Amino acid sequence: MVAFELTLSLVCALLWPALAVIVLQERSRQLKDQRQWEERVRSGIEFTRMGGAGSIHCRDCSYEQEIVSFTHGYSDTGPTSETGVQCLKCGKLTTLSEGHGTDDDTEAPCDCGGALSRDHVLFCPRCRSKNLVYEMRYIT
């Protein structure tokens, strides 16, 4: 009986460090994931990760603008959708409408000739800072 208890405590003593290592590894992995997530959030906001409509606010120059990331609805002429885009050259934020009875879904460039994109980290149209916050108002 004593031998059994000895074996048991020996096994525990041997297993515990191994278990502790696993727990510590798991913990550090979680911390790493969290850091990566915070890193991504800090790196800026993107249309593709935003929903609905709301407003952006620049933390650097306090610029504010109402924007649409993506909304959809239905009109007399059929389904409609509105997609937010930003000009990569001048930073202007605009909304592209589809539907409304037009077949024209070619992406016209910005007035300044710059390309419109929704697949990039948004920057402030005024000071070009990426330190923006997005506040969602509604989603469709």
Judged by CB under 5 A, the residue of 19, 112, 121, 136 near Zn ion is: 112
Judged by CB under 5 A, the residue of 26, 33, 38, 60 near Zn ion is: 60
Judged by CB under 5 A, the residue of 31, 127, 133, 139 near Zn ion is: 127
Nearer to Zn ion, 56 or 68 (CB): 56
Nearer to Zn ion, 18 or 108 (CB): 108
- The residues, ordered by sequence, that sit 6+ positions from 56 with a Cβ below 8 Å of its Cβ are 45, 64, 65, 67, 93, 122, 124, 132, 133, 134, 135
Report the half-sphere exposure of 126 (CA within 13 A, side-chain side): 12
Nearer to Zn ion, 101 or 106 (CB): 106
Q: Is 29 exposed, middle or buried (0-12, 13-18, 19+ CB in 10 A)?
A: exposed
Structure tokens at 32: 């790493």
Q: Is 110 one of the binding residues for Zn ion (CB under 5 A)?
A: yes
State the residues that interact with Zn ion by CB under 5 A: 58, 60-61, 63, 87, 89-90, 92, 110, 112, 114, 124, 126-127, 129
